[in-house]
Structure 1
Amino acid sequence: MGKGYSPAIAANPYIVGSFACIGGGLFGLDISSMSGVLNNEAYLRTFHSPGSNAQGAIVAAMPAGSFVGALLVATLADKIGRKNTVISSGWIWVIGSIIQCASVNRGMLVAGRVISGLSVGLASSVVPLYQSEITPPAIRGRLVSMQQWAITWGILLQYFVQFGCSYIDGVASFRIPWGLQMIPAILLSLGMVFFPESPRWLMDNGREEEALQVLADLHGRGDKTNELVQLEFEEIRAQVYFERTEGAKSYMDLFKPGVMRRVGLGCSMQMWSQLSGMNVMMYYVVYVFQGAGITGRRANLIADSVQYVLNVALTVPAILYIDKWGRRPLLIAGSLAMGFWFMLVGGLQGRYGHWGEVDGSASWVIEGHSAATKGIIVCSYLCVCSFAISLGPVSWTYPAEIFPLRVRAKAVSFSTATNWAFNFALAWAVPPGLSNIAYKTYFIFGTFDFAACIHFFFCFPETAGRTLEEVEEIFAQGHAFSAWKVERGVGKKTVEEAKQQTKELELHEHIDEKIADV
């Protein structure tokens, strides 16, 4: 059959699901590769001390490329498969990293970041898609949420590399970290060769025997007669036959009844994850802590590193319990908490700060109020912790599991493109915002978080613990503005019920083919 992967590796869904997360880690590497150089003297000399608008443009170049990459997934993931798309993203990242490492001016740096962004856009869209299609429903949320954990690890590891290299004089202090970030991408592209293709993609491309074998290796220790394997196989077959009767795959499918609502939820989920303000605390944490009154480059780096460690640590509970706690409670509680912390940060900044100067630029700063400085730092840490345990992992899990098969690749890429569109806008807008409206920037993000909380409560149904095919039944119930009414047992089927549904759909497809022939 020529499976092209190692059954021994496929036998452990945790290994299969978690290795692909290296693709998510690429985004994390980029975040701290920028935040770690914002006050690096060699970086500032090489790129002529970019002002707030120029620095925003440099940072925004990566999400601009990611937006394009996320949209390309719609075609690539369906045409060459989920696995090969992940492999391609790794090699594109290597090219972008080489250009960044060798850059001698802003234009070259921006070009490298756009290419790296293309890789991140591909990986951030296809990795959750791949994970959701190869994992059993009982642990799907846990494994897809590891995408976010990989991002936090990428941020942390790259930041400490930046921290260590900051003691090196000259341009090597930022070129070495930018060069080292190629290593995870190379491991990703080489390692994915030994992993299986998505069984749902195989089924959708007429390779049913391979799909059954992959399911058996993943969920049945190689036993094709395993009850769970048979149930999943029959449900996937039924769904594939059903999708084939719905017509050709195209972007217009995203606007059909029954799908458009889910596209709105997926895009909204990714939009709120950006408007929550988390990237203010990631990309521009240096500016946040400077404004809080932390002086000295080393002191700022240490304060930043604590935040990144907390980001990694607090993502772990979400990974372990996301399938037990559910998606809705995490979204509602997390957005509410983040709104509260942002309002406190803005309030403390507004009460104790004033216009001053940092590194020759006008900035809103706090001076002589150690209690206020500590309060802002603590609130910033708590804001990051709130995101790490809620919106962070769920924002990748939820869009990957709510779409029907015929539009899943396109819909997930469209949702992820929304993430990068807002990431681009915020990455560019935040530095000028902090330079012009200062502490009021935090009030804006706090308001967004409260608005997100209301939206999550009314419109986002629970999807935890259900197969991707059972999720179809959830949205068939309706409840567009009363998501809390979705019943817990919706969509549950036995093996015999799944087989019967498959037979009915096969007969329906056969009849349609006869009619078409006539």
Structure 2
Amino acid sequence: MFKFGNIYIIAAVAVIGGALFGFDISSMSAIISTQAYLCQFNQGGLDSDGKCVGPTPDVQGGVVAAMPGGSWLGALVSGFASDRFGRKTSIQIGAVIWVIGSVIVCASVNIPMLAVGRIINGFSVGICSAQVPVYITEIAPPTKRGRLVGFQQWAITWGILIMFFICYGCSYIDGTAAFRVPWGVQAVPAILLFCGLCVLPESPRWLAKKDRWEEAREVLALVHSHGNADSAWVRREMEEIREMVEFERQNADVTYFELFKPKMINRTMIGVFTQIWSQLTGMNVMMYYITYVFTMAGLASDDGTGVLLPSGIQFVINVVMTVPALLWMDRWGRRPTLLIGAFFMCLWLCVNAGLFATYGKPATGNHNAAVSMSITGAPAKAVIASTYLFVASFAPTWGPVSWAYPPELYPLRVRGKAVALATSSNWAFNFALAYFVPPAFANIQWRTYVIFAVFCAAMFIHVFFMFPETANKPLEEVEQIFDDTKPGAIKYIGTPAWKTRNTRAAVLKQERDQLASDEKIDAAAHKESVNA
């Protein structure tokens, strides 16, 4: 069967799995403030103006959190599925599950049915979000790896934006079709993902791990040398993969417990906290509940659609500001990008907290309890501006890097389960925060921003002291960064994390020199075969 070998086509199809999460974020944030949704799932009766109040803050938090709750379980299970069935097949399994969940969500008539459908959708997102980065990491060249894995985050932002405009258009439809149509349409990208993966190759490193050496060679040739399986580059890459596979087979079968042994615990914690910190920035919470923030800033209309267009601006910013990372993330390196993002996000969160604390007033009337504050005039405009700047700070930093960084930390033998564990922690904290924010806005109000600002300050310190630079290093070479000197004492080889550097210039020079050498070798071999 024909297979595409262009690495950008491979990445573009695979990261549709990320778009599924984006569709979910946007479909909830754009719908939860509309009257059609509030009346269908109404628990609070009618307010003083005769409008539906909708679910209570606790229940709304639970509905939103159902998806990341399912994602936590899906991410953990994906490690076993990926090791057994392959990276590509496990993503296809996730696509099928997403379609099933979308059907249930679309047909929901009450809150329990909606929550069950979102749990199933989350299970799918957990599988795809964990294994898409692994798949791309194992098939991409080192100097393009960060950019290509970063496409996952860009796909998420596109999913958010596309679904937002679908929801915005459907908000003018009368009745429950205003939210059923978007929830049904979100099954389409999963169908495209499943079909698109049918014409993509499997990970060569997974094939080698399963002793399918000839297939692994064919994939490397297809993706990296225009189908020439006898090129010097393919031979060298196969030798490196063979050495790593044979070395890893001397060890016992991989379990999750191995990730917490002395030789692995350091990088396990780095990978896990990369995903945890990406949630504790508050970005996904900002996406889910942005309509609450803009309602407090006075942008709401009677039917709940007045906040949708300002929310759409935020989603556009998210898409556009992810592009610089795709172009230059491998040049910037992982550490500087994470540090700069943490600093600026902390700054804008502090600005919002200060504005609400100084100029905000308690909201009046019988309404959604999570919309607990009201701010008007110039301070309200400043809240909106700093919210946009917060998104612009996350999009080119923690957004793409949090997906690209963890798969680079681990050896092949444990990579599937290690990335699954890291991604599961992402979804565990996504679940907790999605449930936490509506009651937090209702009870501690502007102090919610202070909590996330403190998290951003903590992640800056953690990254500075503990996260080494992995950009542009071959996956087999990253193994040399970590070393255990004795049981219980773990350190980096050579220099501490804050002194590690991005070696992009050296790697590019080495690749150019190696390419020239490979061309000479191939030319000599061709000449010898002709003479013979």
- After TM superposition, the score normalised by the length of structure 2 is 0.89
Q: Which residue of 494, 499, 510 maps to 1:485? A: 499
Look up the SS of the partner of 1:290 in the other structure: helix
Structure 1 residue 473 and structure 2 residue 480: aligned?
Answer: yes
Give the structure 2 partner of residue 507 of structure 1: none
Out of 397, 409, 414, the position equivalent to 1:407 is 414
Report the counterpart of residue 14 of structure 1 in structure 2. 8
CA-based RMSD of the aligned residues comes to: 1.8
What is the 5 A alignment of 1:342-357? 342-357=349-364
Decide whether the 8 Å contact of 2:472 with 2:502 is kept in 1. Answer: no
Matches of 2:310 and 2:502, distance apart in 1: 44
Counterpart for residue 453 of structure 1: 460
2:306 counterpart SS class: helix
Is 1:231–2:241 an aligned residue pair? Answer: no
- Partners of 2:384 and 2:61 lie apart in 1 by 23
1:235-384 equivalences in 2 (<5 Å): 235-296=240-301, 297-357=304-364, 360-362=367-369, 363-367=371-375, 369-384=376-391
Contact 1:204/1:240 (8 A) holds in 2: yes
3-state secondary structure, aligned to 1:194:
coil
Aligned-pair CA distance for 1:42: 1.3
Q: Which residue of 2 aligns with 1:78?
A: 83
Alpha carbons of 1:177 and 1:242: their partners in 2 closer, same or farther (altered >3 Å)?
Answer: same
Query: What per-residue deviation string (whole Å, max 9, x for no partner) do you get for residues 210-248 of structure 1?
Result: 101100100111112333323322211111111111222
Deviation at 1:358, TM superposition (A): 6.2
Contact 2:34–2:305, Cα closer than 8 Å, also in 1: no
- 1:422-476 Cα offsets, whole Å, 9 max, x none, are 0000000000000100000001001100110111111111111111111111223
Equivalent residue in structure 2 for 1:423, among 404, 408, 430: 430
Aligned to 1:41: 35
Give the direction of change, closer, same or farther, for the CA distance of 1:204–1:38 in structure 2 (3 Å limit): same
For the 8 Å contact 2:333–2:502, the answer to whether it is kept is: no
- Any residues of structure 2 matched to 1:93-108 within 5 Å, and which? 93-108=98-113
* Structure 1 residues 38-92: Cα deviation after superposition (integer angstroms, max 9, x where no partner): 1111111111110100000000000110011000111000000001011111110
Within 2, Cα distance between the matches of 1:59 and 1:366? 24
| Distance of 1:489 and 1:360 partners within structure 2 | 55
Which deviations, in whole Å up to 9, do the C-alpha atoms of 1:276-297 show, x marking residues without a partner? 0101210000011112222323
CA distance in 2, matches of 1:227, 1:254: 35
What's 1:191 paired with? Answer: 196
- Distance in 1 (CA, whole Å) between partners of 2:483 and 2:396 is 30
Give the whole-Å Cα distance in 1 for the aligned partners of 2:497 and 2:263.
15
Structure 2 unaligned residues grouped into runs of 5+: 43-53, 485-490, 515-532
Alignment of 1:158 onto 2:163 = yes
Equivalenced residue count is 488
Deviates more, 1:285-294 or 1:329-338: 285-294
Q: How is 1:55-66 mapped onto 2 (pairs within 5 angstroms)?
A: 55-66=60-71
Give the secondary-structure state (helix, strand or coil) at the position aligned to 2:267.
Answer: helix
Please say if residues 479 and 486 of structure 1, whose CA atoms lie closer than 8 Å, have aligned partners that are also in contact. Answer: no
Secondary structure (helix, strand or coil) at the match of 2:361 reads: strand
Q: Which runs of 5+ in 1 are unaligned?
A: 496-518
What are the equivalent positions in structure 2 for 1:82-161 lying under 5 Å apart? 82-161=87-166
Range 27-36 or range 234-243, more displaced: 234-243
Q: Is the 8 A contact 1:474 1:486 kept in 2?
A: no
SS at match of 2:364: strand
AA partner of residue 482 (structure 1): P
- Structure 1 residue 179 displacement after superposition: 0.3
Distance in 2 between residues matched to 1:453 and 1:323, nearest whole Å: 20
Residues 96 and 116, structure 1, Cα contact 8 Å, conserved in 2: yes
Cα distance in 2, alignment partners of residues 26 and 231 from structure 1 = 37
Q: Distance in 1 between matches of 2:366 and 2:118?
A: 25
What is aligned with 1:503? Answer: none
Bigger shift: residues 485-494 or 238-247: 485-494
Distance 1:298 1:110 in 2: 24
Give the 3-state SS of the residue equivalent to 1:76 in structure 2: helix
